[in-house]
Amino acid sequence: MGQVFLQSRRIAEYEVDLLGEPGTVLEIGPGHGVLTKILVERGFKITAVEKDRYIFGELQSLRAANLNLINMDFLDMAPGSYDYIIGNIPYSISSPIVFKLYEFEFRRSVIMVQKEFAEKIAFPDDMSRLYVNAHVRYNVELKRYVSRKNFNPQPEVDSAILVLEKKKYEEPYPLEFLDGVLVQMFSKKRKKLSNIFDICPEDLADKRPSNLTVSEILGLARLLFDSGSSAHR
């Protein structure tokens, strides 16, 4: 299922509480405005991006000096800087939206996503490109689960609220380089590292990408960067 709409004001207030003191906030996909109304009331300076023209028309009734409504797809939005980013994310495009978030500067993001997707970011059974990219940039916390009964139409799965808190990135190589290594690695995740990369630490040679720790992946990327190559076999 794609877009579903949160009906509970209590849960929406909980999400806004997680942001902190009022500041600039980008809201992704405001829908019928359950979060937007609370953000307006609390005094945040809001940029709300809604793709659907019909829903955008409905949102026009929320006239407020601290609200800027934009009718466009968040995935097409130019990167910017905000204190916060918030949104109840459509299940079907959760991964593209999270990767798009990486282009923005913010202190904290509060997003509600499908339960299983949240768990892949917060504490996965297997390592993934999504997990590593999130954890090198942010402190990630799954705050609570949200029952499917709080949405209309009611989805077949529950949701979860994630908080992403910006942290200092300390590796010597650019994040773009790291992501390139991750793409190579997880596109061949069933192979051993020695069959993916020309250069590989001996203690990792027989491991597969999904069995690595974040620290091991960062160390491998550092070795590849220092050698001037991320060449794969």
Round to whole Å and give the CA distance between 156 and 178. 35
Round to whole Å and give the CA distance between 17 and 42. 10
Residue carrying structure tokens 């023209």: 53
Residue 50 annotated in ligand binding: yes
Greatest alpha-carbon pair distance for the chain in Å reads 62
Which own/partner pairs from 95-99 qualify as long-range (CB within 8 Å, at least 24 positions apart)? 95/130, 97/28, 98/130, 98/134, 99/130, 99/133
Dihedral, CA of residue 35, residue 40, residue 46 and residue 51, to nearest 10: 50
Residue carrying structure tokens 């923005």: 104
Residue 29 annotated in ligand binding: yes
In 3D space, the residue among 166, 161, 160, 44 whose CA is nearest the CA of residue 108 turns out to be 166
- Contact present, 187 and 209 (Cβ < 8 Å): no
Q: Is 140 helix (H, G, I), strand (E, B) or coil?
A: strand
Q: What's the distance, Cα to Cα, between the start and end of the chain in Å?
A: 38
Residue 119 annotated in ligand binding: no
Q: What residues form the annotated binding site for S-adenosyl-L-methionine?
A: 6, 29, 50, 73, 88
Q: What residues form the annotated binding site?
A: 6, 29, 50, 73, 88
